Amino acid sequence: FAVGECNHHICHQCSTRMRVLCDQRYCPICRSTMRKVLFMSEDENYETFLKHGRSFRLPFNRRYNILFEDPDVEHKFYKLLEFKCKLCPDRPPERSFRDLRWHTRRAHDLLYCDLCVKNL
């Protein structure tokens, strides 16, 4: 889950998509600005989780202002950012989206939608 100061829980995949791909830093439920987001495995309250200065010990991504409950949750976030072919699970991630796009076309004769790629 991903939760901000407003305590609305959304899935970490949607939050990642909003913050990383679309550069949107607001809650999709109430539209309040979320300066920081906490990624966690349980749907816990934002303030309760961060009580007693706990945030100073949590892994933190400065670029996207995301706190992670633990290194495992942080690892899952970085796995979402990989350029990985979903049809080749044993293949290592590509270095860029351009490489993934080329692989997908060459190996699977599949294309990405140009409109989606341009706008995300």
State mean pLDDT over 29-57: 84
Please tell me whether the overall predicted TM-score, pTM, comes out greater than 0.85 for this model: no
pLDDT digits (tens, 9 = 90+) for 73-98: 999 999 999 999 999 999 999 999 99
Q: Is 73 exposed, middle or buried (0-12, 13-18, 19+ CB in 10 A)?
A: buried
C-alpha to C-alpha distance for 81 and 41, rounded to whole angstroms: 18
Using pLDDT thresholds of 50, 70 and 90, give the confidence band for residue 53: low
Neighbouring-strand partners of residue 37: 66
Q: How far is CA 40 from CA 67, 69, 104, 113, 115, in A?
A: 9, 5, 32, 32, 32
State mean pLDDT over 34-45: 90
